[in-house]
Structure 1
Amino acid sequence: MSESDTPPNKRHEALIPLSRDHYVGLVHAHRLMKAASKDRVARHKALADFLEAWRTEIEPHFRDEERLLPPLIPAQADRRRLIDDHAAITRAAEEAMVKRRAVDPDPEFVERLGLDLEEHIRWEERVVFNLVQENASPGQLEALTEATAQLERSRNRGRDGRETDLDASTQTDPSDDS
């Protein structure tokens, strides 16, 4: 079983707001992957929707993680991967801005963007967050709890923790293939 197949542990309260943010990324990752096998209109819409989420939610989330998590990740390789993955997805988002203007967005690019985003989120949930929970001191976890609680208050969330401005189709399980 690879590290990305490891089921996530119960999440420490300090990490719950970041996990909630991941839901948005997973929804868009799955939409991109599904759109890749559909027509150009579907690919345009998936890219446009992703780019809106990128601007308003995903990119700010990356900045929050890069500010809060590296001091709590014990291994340099994992800290480096976090930053490198974010940089690669940021470059892909910038490329998506260009590709969205194409008459027919490249299906392979659309699918790869979705796959890379999903893989990164799953890695954070299953590896990074577990490392933080297992290695951070009680004081570090308390400081992280305060910081993420402030982030949570700044998010536009409904009672269920999901973004309230997401459309109804987003309110489904992102891994549902129906």
Structure 2
Amino acid sequence: MEKKKPIKRHESLKPLSRDHHHGLLLTWKIRQGIKLNIEPRRMKSYTDWFKNEYLYPHFEAEEKFVFPVLGSEDLLVKRALAEHRRLRRLFDQKIHILKSLSLIEEELDKHIRFEERVVFNEVQKIASPGQFEEIEREHHAQPFSDDDWQDHFWNRKK
């Protein structure tokens, strides 16, 4: 089996990559919740908090500062924006919660891997020093913590 080399990420994109790591952890938490037969509204409560505190601000930063490096007509940008729209619809869904959570788990995982392996690599190839400076100046990743979240449903049943 061929071992993949880790992606060398430009300093200005590292906070966005850390955001992606927390998004992947969210998909794991949803998988765990489903496996443990956690009541869907408990998981939805957490995903609502996560989307408002971390995910939607992350999408906004990418859309405002990262995607413009490639341009609005770029096919990768069009795909990423379409996936953002789809994920927003899934996160905002108020009915069929378990189905939406299951789709979030799958689609968010694929989306993050697409951005990390494809979009960010393309941005790194063509971004000017000024564009990297703007990304770094404008996007300040909020340190992630869900320690205060009372219901860690992914660890145990309540």
Q: What is the TM-score normalised by the length of structure 1?
A: 0.72
Q: How many aligned positions are there? A: 145
TM superposition shift of 1:139: 2.3
Q: Which runs of 5+ in 2 are unaligned?
A: 150-158
Partner residue of 1:52 out of 49, 53, 57: 49
The separation in 1 between residues aligned to 2:90 and 2:83, in whole angstroms, is: 11
| Contact in 2 for aligned 1:28/1:46 (Cα 8 Å) | no
8 Å Cα contact 2:24-2:112 kept in structure 1 = yes
Is 1:32–1:111's contact at 8 Å kept on the other side of the alignment? yes
Tell me the C-alpha RMSD between the 2 structures: 2.3
Aligned match for 2:69, one of 61, 72, 95: 72
State the identity as a percent: 30
Equivalent residue number for residue 91 of structure 1: 89
Question: What is residue 140 of structure 1 aligned with on the other side?
Answer: 131
Q: Any idea what the Cα deviations from partners look like across 1:54-90, whole Å, max 9, x if unmatched? A: 1111111111111111221266111101110100000
* The 10-residue stretch of structure 1 (10-19 or 28-37) with the greater mean CA deviation from structure 2: 28-37
| Corresponding residue to 2:15 among 17, 20, 25 | 17
Contact preservation (8 Å) 1:51, 1:93: yes
For the residues of structure 1 that align with 2:44 and 2:5, how far apart are their CA atoms? 29
5+ residue gaps, structure 1, are: 1-5, 158-162, 170-178
Corresponding position: 1:61 with 2:58: yes
Q: Is the 8 A contact 2:91 2:100 kept in 1?
A: no
Letter in 1 for 2:32: K
Query: CA 1:7–1:47 in 2, change beyond 3 Å: closer, same or farther?
Result: farther
Q: What do the CA deviations read for 1:107-161 (whole angstroms, capped 9, x no partner)? A: x43222111111111111111111111111222222222223xx23xx2x2xxxx
SS of 2:12's equivalent?
coil
User: Which amino acid is the alignment partner of residue 77 of structure 1?
Assistant: L
Tell me if 1:114 matches 2:112: no
Runs of 4+ in 1 over 4 A off after TM superposition: none
1:111 alignment partner AA: S
TM-score by length of 2: 0.80
1:145 and 1:109 mapped to 2: Cα distance?
33
